[in-house]
C-alpha cells in the first residue's frame, strides 16, 4: 500500500515506538491521527508531525468508536492502523513474601495490551470493510507484540500473556479479514530504547545492549517505524509475526 495521502491511526503514538511510527508515516505523506491517553505529549507530537490527536482509552468501547468516527470525518476512512498502546506491571506470580500477584494488575495489563488491541482492530476493520479497495487491498493492521511473547522473563507473566495473545490472534484475524482485503501483521520488538528504558543510567543501557548478538545495542524506535513501513509496503506480508530483535533470546532475568 502507498502511504501518501492515506489516513492512518497510531495508538500509543505520543511517544516511544508509537511516536516514531506516527512521525515516519507523516513524513511519508500519511494523514495521521494519534490515539493516546497522554494529552500533553500526544497533542505536542500531533502538532510536530502535522497530524491530529485524540485522547483515547483503547479499552473503552464507545470511546474508540467515537474517536474513529472523528478521525474519519477529518481525514477520510483510515486505511492503516498501528497498535502501539501498551503497558506492563512487573511482578512475580508469588513474591518473596509469599503474596500472589494481584489479579487486578494482571487483568489491567491484559485488558490494555490484548483486549485494547482487539477492540481497535475490530472497530477499525468494521469501518474499513465498507470502503473501496485501493488497488488489491483495503488496508493494513500492524500490531505490537514483544520478544516477551516467546521468552518471558521472571516477573513478566502478565506482560508475556498479553503479548503472546497478540501473537496468537494475528493469523486468525488475518484469515477473518482476508475476504475484505485487509492484511494483519504483528511486529515483536526485542530490547528497544523507549522512554521507560531512557531513565536508566548509560551503563545499564549499554549492558542491556550487549545482550543482543548483532547489532550489540538497543533497538531504536525509528527502526521499529521502518519495519512498520516495510509491512505496509509489502502486500505479501500477512498473518505473520516478525521478530525485530537482533537475534536476542531473552534470559530468565
Report d(CA 78, CA 130) in Å as an integer.
Answer: 11
The number of angstroms, rounded, from the C-alpha of 204 to the middle of its chain's C-alpha atoms is 25
DSSP 222-247: HHHHHHHHHHHH-TT--S-EEEESTT
What is the per-residue pLDDT for 204? Answer: 78
Which residue matches cell numbers 495473545? 165
Q: What is the pLDDT of residue 250?
A: 86
pLDDT < 70 stretches in the chain: 198-200
pLDDT at position 205, please? 80
For residues 34 and 15, is the Cβ–Cβ distance under 8 A? no
Q: Looking at residue 191, what is its pLDDT?
A: 93
What does the pLDDT read at residue 203?
82
Residue 244: what pLDDT? 98
Give CA–CA dist 250/147, Å, rounded.
7
State the catalytic residues.
159
Specify the pLDDT at position 38.
97
Which of 150, 146, 141, 148 is CA-nearest to residue 170? 141
What pLDDT, on the 0 to 100 scale, is given for residue 199?
A: 61
CATH superfamily of the domain spanning 7-190+221-243: NAD(P)-binding Rossmann-like Domain (3.40.50.720)
CB 167 within 8 A of CB 188: yes
Q: Say whether the peptide bond before residue 79 is cis (omega within 30 degrees of 0).
A: no
Amino acid at each position: 500500500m502507498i502511504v501518501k495521502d492515506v489516513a492512518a491511526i497510531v495508538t500509543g503514538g505520543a511517544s516511544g515506538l508509537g511516536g516514531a511510527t506516527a512521525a515516519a508515516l507523516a513524513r511519508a505523506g500519511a494523514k495521521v491521527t494519534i490515539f493516546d491517553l497522554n494529552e500533553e505529549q500526544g497533542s505536542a507530537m500531533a502538532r510536530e508531525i502535522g497530524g491530529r490527536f485524540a485522547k483515547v482509552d483503547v479499552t473503552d468501547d464507545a470511546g474508540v468508536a467515537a474517536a474513529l468516527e472523528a478521525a474519519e470525518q477529518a481525514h477520510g476512512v483510515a486505511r492503516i492502523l498501528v497498535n502501539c498502546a501498551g503497558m506492563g506491571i512487573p511482578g512475580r506470580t508469588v513474591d518473596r513474601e509469599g503474596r500472589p500477584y494481584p489479579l487486578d494488575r494482571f487483568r489491567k495489563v491484559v485488558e490494555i495490551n490484548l483486549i485494547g488491541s482487539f477492540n481497535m482492530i475490530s472497530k477499525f476493520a468494521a469501518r474499513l470493510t465498507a470502503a473501496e479497495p485501493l488497488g488489491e487491498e483495503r488496508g493494513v493492521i500492524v500490531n505490537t507484540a514483544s520478544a516477551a511473547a516467546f521468552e518471558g522473563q521472571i516477573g513478566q507473566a502478565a506482560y508475556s500473556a498479553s503479548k503472546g495473545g497478540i501473537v496468537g490472534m494475528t493469523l486468525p484475524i488475518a484469515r477473518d479479514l482476508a475476504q475484505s482485503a485487509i492484511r494483519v501483521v504483528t511486529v515483536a520488538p526485542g530490547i528497544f530504547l523507549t522512554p521507560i528504558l531512557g531513565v536508566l543510567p548509560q551503563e545499564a543501557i549499554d549492558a542491556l545492549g550487549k545482550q543482543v548478538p548483532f547489532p550489540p545495542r538497543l533497538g531504536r524506535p525509528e527502526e521499529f517505524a521502518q519495519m512498520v513501513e516495510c509491512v505496509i509496503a509489502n502486500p505479501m506480508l500477512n498473518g505473520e509475526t516478525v521478530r525485530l530483535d537482533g537475534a536476542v533470546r531473552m534470559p530468565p532475568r
